[in-house]
A and B are shown apart, each in its own frame.
Chain A
C-alpha cells in the first residue's frame, strides 16, 4: 500500500507541476497582450479584451448622438496604441490621459508579448534596419565601393580597404546630390580608421564653433525646431500649476529652445510662473547667454534666474550642483541629443539617471536620434549609419533652396557625427545613438515611466513643419506615446517624456 502510495505520489507530482504550469501559463496568457493586435500596433491584454469591447460599444452610443460628436472636436488624444486607456478617456474625458496605465508600473521593457511567437520579437524590434532610397539617383557603384571598403575594414584587410577608400573618393567627387556628400564624409571616416588617424576627444574643436554649426542646422532644417517644440509642449503640460519652474537643460548650447518656452509661460492664463534655467555645457559663452535670456525675460515680464554649469562630462554632474529648492519649485530636466553621449563609458548612464532622479523632476523631456549607432560590430554600425545619414542628407537636398553657407554648415554638423560614429572607438565615440525602443528599456529599468505626448502636440508640430519644413517628405509620427519626425517614412528623431514611477504629475 505504502509502496503504491509512494509510486502514485511520485506520479502525482508530475501532473501537479504541469497543472500549476498550465494555470500559470494561462494567467500569463491573459496578462499578455493579444498577439494579433500587437502586430497591428495595438496593445490590449487578452484579459481586458471584453472590457475594451464594452467601452467601444458605449463610445459608439455616445458618438451616435451628433451633439456629443461635436464636443469631441477638441478632444486631445493620447497613445492610440493603448486602446483600453484611449476608449476610457474618450468616455471619461476628465481623467488625465497622460497618466500611464497601471500596467506600465512594471518595467516598460516587459512588453508582454510572447517571444518567439509574434513577428515582433525583442531582437527584431531592437534591430530594425530601416532603408530608404531614391530610385532616380542610383550611385550604385559608389555605394558598392563604400560597403566593400567597410567590409575590408571589418575583416582588417587594410591594403584592400586603402585601395577602396581611394576609389570611393573619386567616385564621390563625381556623384551629384546627397549621395555624393554622404559618401565623402563616410570615405573620410573610413580613411581615418584605415590610417589610424584618431580624431581626438569631443573637446578637440572649439565648443562654440560646434554650437555655431548646430545653429545653422537649426536654421536650415526642421529637426531641432521639432525637438524644441515638442519638448516644450510636454514641459508646458507638466507645469500648468507650478509657481516656480526650474528647467535643467543638459545641453544648453545656444539656448535656442528657451525663448519660446519663456514666451509661452509669459502668456499663461493667470500669470507667468517664475522661471529658473540651469544650463549645462562646456563653452565659455554660457554666462553671456544667460544674460541675454535675462533681458528677454525682463522684456516679457517673467521673473528669471539663470545658472551656468560648466562640466567636462555629464557624469561630473552631482545633484547638489543644481541647488534645487524642492519646497517651492517644480523641476524639469531637458535633454536634446545629450543622453546618448554618456553611453561611451560603462556605468555612466546609471550615474546620470541617478543624478536626474535625485532632483525629483516632474518631467524629463528627451530627444534622441532614432537609429541604432551603438552596435558592437563595426560593419553593422557602418551600414546603419550609412542608411540613416543618407536619409538625413536627402532631406537637406530637398525643398526650399538653402543659402549655401547654411547648407555647408549643416552638412559639417552632420559630418562630425558621421566621423564620430565610424572613425572613433571607446570613450571618444560619443555619438552612441539608440532607438526609442532601446531607450524605453533603459528608462524603464531605471525606474521611469512614460508621459504620453498627445494629438495636440502632434498637430501643432505638423503645422510647424508645413511652415518651416521646406520639403514635402517630412511627417510626424506617433509611436506609443512618443512623437517622431520622419523623412520619407523613415524616422529621424524621436521626442519622449518621462517621469519617476510613483511620482506626482
Chain B
C-alpha cells in the first residue's frame, strides 16, 4: 500500500472520535464491496449488511413511529415519527396514530435519507435514529421517505417518489397546524437526500405547494470539472472521487454526464432560480467532505439568484458527523435546524 494511503488513514483517524471512525470506515469498506465495476450493484449483500429497525408505536425517549404505505402501485413506504402525546400513557392505538397535531404551528419535516441514491432505506438504523433526534430537538413531525434507489431505479424515480410524498404530506388533515389549517412543510435530507429535497422544492414551487424551508446536510451535488476540494481531499476522509463518479453514473440517465441539472443544478443546463418560488435554505457543508466546493457553489448559486440561504460551513467536519451526537458539529447543526423550522413560532 502506498505511503500516502497510510497517511490518509491516520489523518482521518485524528479528526473524528474513534467510534465515528469505525462506523464510517465500516460503511466505506462495505460499500466498496457492493459497487461493481460494470455499474451493477450487489443489492442482496447491501440489504444483508444494512442494519434496520422496525417502526415502534411504543414511545422511546418521547418519540414513536409507524409505517405508512403511501402509494401501493410503486410500493412507496414512509415512516412517520411523532412526539408522544402529552396525555398518553399507553402506546397509541392504530386510531390514534393520526391524531391531529396539537399546536398552533407544528412543523412537519419531509426527510430524504442519504446513501448516494443507492444505499440505505427509511428503516436503516442510522436514519431511524437521526429522524428520532430531529423530532426530539425540533418538536416536530418527521416523515421519512423510502424512495426508490439507483442503479435499479435511476433518475427521476427518487424525485418522483419525493413529489408523491410531498403531496401526501400536504394533504393529511391530521398534519395541519391549528393556526391556518395548513401543513407547515420543510424538506430535509443528507447527501443524496439533500439533492432530492432541492429538486422536490423546485417542483413544489412550480406547482403551488408551499414549502417553508429546505434543510440540506452535506447535499450531494457534482459537476464535470474536478474542483480543488475534490483533488485535495480525494481518498483522505472516507470518500473518493472514483466512488462519487460511480454513484452519478448509476443515478443519471444512460449517456448523461455530470452537467445534467440533477447533478449540477447551476450548470448551463440547469434552470435559473431567479424570481422562482423557492423556499429559504439551510445548507450545511462539512469542510472535509471532498465535494464541499460543489456544495458551497450551490449555496452561492442560490444567493446569486436572490434566494434566501443560510450557510453553515463546518471546516473540520467530515461526512456523517450528524450520525452520532459525539461531536460539537452535531449539536451546533441540531440547534440551527431547530431554530430554522421553529422560526415562525418565535418570530
Binding site for B on A (CB under 8 A): 34, 36-37, 39-42, 44, 49-50, 52-53, 56-57, 59-61, 63-64, 69, 72, 77, 80-81, 83, 87, 119-120, 124, 127-136, 140, 143-144, 147, 383, 386-387, 398, 455, 458-459, 462-463, 472-473, 475-479, 488-491
Q: Is B346 an interface residue (CB 8 A)?
A: no
Interface residues of B in 1-36 (CB under 8 A from A): 1, 5, 9, 13, 18-19, 21-23, 25-26, 28-30, 32-33
Q: Is B93 an interface residue (CB 8 A)?
A: yes
Q: Which of B47-55, B190-198, B333-341 contacts A (4 or more CB under 8 A)?
A: B47-55
> Given A52-B22, A127-B58, A131-B55, are A478 and B48 neighbors across the interface (CB < 8 Å)?
yes
Query: Closest CB of chain A to B27's CB: distance in Å?
Result: 10
Q: Is B263 an interface residue (CB 8 A)?
A: no
Residue in B51, B91, B123 with the greatest tally of chain A CB atoms within 10 Å: B51
Query: Closest CB of chain B to A462's CB: distance in Å?
Result: 5
Residues of A within 8 A of B25 (CB): 53, 56-57, 60
Is the pair B53, A41 in contact by a Cβ cutoff of 8 Å? yes
Is the pair B93, A383 in contact by a Cβ cutoff of 8 Å? yes
Query: Closest CB of chain B to A160's CB: distance in Å?
Result: 17
Query: Closest CB of chain B to A14's CB: distance in Å?
Result: 33
Residues of B within 8 A of A41 (CB): 51-53, 125
A40 to B23, CA, bound (A): 9
Is the pair B18, A53 in contact by a Cβ cutoff of 8 Å? yes
Interface residues of B in 59-79 (CB under 8 A from A): 60-61, 66-72, 75, 77, 79
Is the pair A53, B13 in contact by a Cβ cutoff of 8 Å? yes
Is the pair B32, A69 in contact by a Cβ cutoff of 8 Å? yes
Given contacts A77-B49, A80-B51, A128-B58, 17 further A-B contacts (CB under 8 A): A36-B19, A42-B51, A44-B22, A56-B22, A61-B5, A63-B32, A80-B48, A119-B61, A130-B57, A131-B94, A133-B67, A135-B70, A136-B69, A136-B72, A459-B44, A478-B48, A489-B146
Residue in B5, B49, B121, B122 with the greatest tally of chain A CB atoms within 10 Å: B49
A83 to B25, CA, bound (A): 11
Is the pair A34, B19 in contact by a Cβ cutoff of 8 Å? yes
A133 to B93, CA, bound (A): 12
Query: Closest CB of chain B to A51's CB: distance in Å?
Result: 10
Write out, one digit per residue, whether chain B residues 92-106 have a CB within 8 A of any chain A CB (1) or not (0): 011101000000000
Write out, one digit per residue, whether chain B residues 77-116 have a CB within 8 A of any chain A CB (1) or not (0): 1010000000000010111010000000000000000000
Residues of B within 8 A of A134 (CB): 68-69, 72
Closest B residue by C-beta to A380: B90
A143 to B18, CA, bound (A): 49
Is the pair B45, A459 in contact by a Cβ cutoff of 8 Å? yes
B interface, size bucket: 35 or more
> Given A53-B25, A383-B93, are A124 and B51 neighbors across the interface (CB < 8 Å)?
no
Interface residues of B in 308-336 (CB under 8 A from A): 323-326
A383 to B57, CA, bound (A): 11
Query: Closest CB of chain B to A59's CB: distance in Å?
Result: 6
- How many residue pairs link A and B with beta carbons under 8 A? The number is 174
> Given A64-B5, A128-B58, A459-B44, are A81 and B94 neighbors across the interface (CB < 8 Å)?
no
Is the pair B1, A49 in contact by a Cβ cutoff of 8 Å? no
Q: Is B272 an interface residue (CB 8 A)?
A: no
Q: Is B184 an interface residue (CB 8 A)?
A: no
Query: Closest CB of chain B to A161's CB: distance in Å?
Result: 16
Query: Closest CB of chain A to B53's CB: distance in Å?
Result: 7
Closest A residue by C-beta to B49: A80
Residue in B13, B28, B53 with the greatest tally of chain A CB atoms within 10 Å: B53
Could you list 25 A-B pairs, sorted by A, with CB under 8 Å? Answer: A37-B19, A40-B23, A40-B129, A41-B51, A50-B18, A52-B22, A53-B18, A60-B5, A60-B25, A60-B28, A64-B1, A81-B51, A119-B61, A119-B129, A119-B132, A130-B56, A136-B72, A143-B94, A143-B95, A147-B94, A398-B72, A455-B49, A459-B44, A489-B54, A489-B55
Residue in B69, B79, B93 with the greatest tally of chain A CB atoms within 10 Å: B93
Is the pair A119, B22 in contact by a Cβ cutoff of 8 Å? no
Closest A residue by C-beta to B121: A489
Residues of A within 8 A of B13 (CB): 53
Is the pair A36, B29 in contact by a Cβ cutoff of 8 Å? no
Is the pair B48, A459 in contact by a Cβ cutoff of 8 Å? yes
Is the pair A57, B9 in contact by a Cβ cutoff of 8 Å? yes
Query: Closest CB of chain B to A425's CB: distance in Å?
Result: 22
Query: Closest CB of chain B to A393's CB: distance in Å?
Result: 14
A463 to B44, CA, bound (A): 9
Query: Closest CB of chain A to B168's CB: distance in Å?
Result: 7
Residues of B within 8 A of A489 (CB): 52, 54-55, 67, 77, 79, 121-123, 146
Is the pair A133, B94 in contact by a Cβ cutoff of 8 Å? yes
Residue in A40, A60, A135 with the greatest tally of chain B CB atoms within 10 Å: A40
Is the pair B45, A36 in contact by a Cβ cutoff of 8 Å? no
Residues of B within 8 A of A129 (CB): 56-58, 91
Is the pair A147, B93 in contact by a Cβ cutoff of 8 Å? yes
A61 to B93, CA, bound (A): 51
Residues of A within 8 A of B217 (CB): none
Closest B residue by C-beta to A126: B58
A63 to B22, CA, bound (A): 16
Q: Is B126 an interface residue (CB 8 A)?
A: yes
Residues of A within 8 A of B18 (CB): 49-50, 53
Is the pair B125, A124 in contact by a Cβ cutoff of 8 Å? no
A133 to B72, CA, bound (A): 11
Closest B residue by C-beta to A475: B47
Residue in A36, A140, A473, A491 with the greatest tally of chain B CB atoms within 10 Å: A36
A488 to B28, CA, bound (A): 28
Is the pair A36, B22 in contact by a Cβ cutoff of 8 Å? no
Tell me which of A135, A398, A462, A491 contacts B47 (CB under 8 A): A462
Is the pair A42, B26 in contact by a Cβ cutoff of 8 Å? yes
A36 to B70, CA, bound (A): 31
A472 to B97, CA, bound (A): 25
Residue in A129, A147, A490 with the greatest tally of chain B CB atoms within 10 Å: A129
A181 to B187, CA, bound (A): 38
Is the pair A40, B26 in contact by a Cβ cutoff of 8 Å? no
Is the pair A131, B66 in contact by a Cβ cutoff of 8 Å? yes
